[in-house]
Chains A and B, each alone.
Chain A
Amino acid sequence: MNEFFAMGGYGTYVWSAYSISFVVLAATVWFARRNLANTRERLKRQRLSKQDRTP
């Protein structure tokens, strides 16, 4: 197991490359979904305030 994590002496490089990749991938998914949810909420609020003004 330790041998696996050591990656023949390249452990630091291999694991940091994989970590950065997956942190960035996860962040991209998270930002995309949050952006969609925010857009939806904002449009909903705009719509409600418009309905209030027009009786």
Chain B
Amino acid sequence: MWNWFYKLASPPHFYRTATVLEPWLFWPALVLLAIGLYGGLVMAPADYVQGDGYRIIYVHVPSSYLSMFTYVTMAVTSAIGLIWRMKLAFCVAAACAPIGAAFTFMSLTTGAIWGQPMWGTWWVWDPRLTSQLILFFLYLGYMFLRQALAETRQADRASGVLAVVGVVNIPIIHFSVEWWNSLHQPASLSKLETPAIAGDMLWPLLVMILAYQLLMLALLMTGIRAQVLEREKNARWVGELLDTTGHEA
């Protein structure tokens, strides 16, 4: 176990692991995406109240969940990096930011498109929507901060602190619909309770969430590889890798 952990913590091994894992995450994600789309758009019945409009749930809930999952990953790896001064942890954190920003953008836009026919408005300054918008700005702030600080160590520390402090926003997003009066409906899925939606509507949602999760991990592997190469550019193994391999690998 520890042997495996130490091995993974060496940059060349970490890089190779990411390279090997990437296609095993990416292609199953695409297959699940196709199944989930067919399930959500064709197999699932129309909703009693929202008709076919509710089908936006199959792209809205997965992106919203991943927007938060990616942030927690970024905050936890930043904390590990800050506490144990682990460079590889910062590689993961830095790779999370653009992925999380993309999922948050998707969550906000699909939410606005869903809000228009159901609530009669694209946007309200509601606790759930506002805290999700703050999440988007946290990701942007993290990326701008990294870009502004030329020295990697300094960028890692400053952006790491921002990521850790910003994690307070995650429970606010999650509980906003319970703490305050919100236009947004409460959670459809919960780990502890039976889901609030019917089985034939539920399975495509679970498949889509899994597809998005695998896609996020595949994207993370690509991002990690770029981060590791950049930081290890003077190491001998990177030189050998660049010399011996062509465009691939």
Contacts and interface: CB of A to CB of B under 8 A. Distances in A.
B233 interface: yes
Given A4-B42, A13-B56, 4 more contacts: A18-B59, A28-B98, A29-B219, A47-B243
Nearest to B112: A17
A28 B219 contact: yes
Interface of B: 37, 41-42, 46, 51-53, 55-56, 59-60, 63, 98-99, 102, 105-106, 109-110, 113-114, 116-117, 215, 218-219, 222-223, 225-226, 229-230, 233, 238-239, 242-243, 247
Given A10-B117, A39-B230, A47-B242, A24 B102 contact: yes
Contact of A32 (B41, B98, B229): B98
Contacts of B106: 20-21, 24-25
A42 B188 CA distance: 47
A15 to B, nearest CB: 10
A28 B102 contact: yes
Nearest to A37: B247
B55 A36 contact: no
Contacts of B105: 24
Interface string A21-51: 1001101110111011101100110110000
A43 B233 CA distance: 7
- The binding surface of chain B is classed by DSSP as helix
A4 B102 CA distance: 29
B53 A36 contact: no
Contact of B56 (A14, A24, A25, A43): A14
B46 A8 contact: yes
Interface of A: 4, 7-10, 13-14, 16-18, 20-21, 24-25, 27-29, 31-33, 35-37, 39-40, 43-44, 46-47
A17 to B, nearest CB: 4
A5 to B, nearest CB: 10
Nearest to B222: A32
A25 B99 CA distance: 9
Contacts of B219: 28-29, 32
5 contacts: A10-B51, A17-B59, A17-B60, A29-B215, A35-B222
A10 B51 CA distance: 8
Given A28-B102, A43-B242, A14 B247 contact: no
Nearest to B99: A28
Contacts of A33: 222
Contacts of B218: 29
A7 B225 contact: no
A39 B226 CA distance: 6
A40 B53 contact: no
A20 B247 CA distance: 31
A21 B219 CA distance: 15
Given A17-B60, A18-B59, A28-B102, A8 B247 contact: no
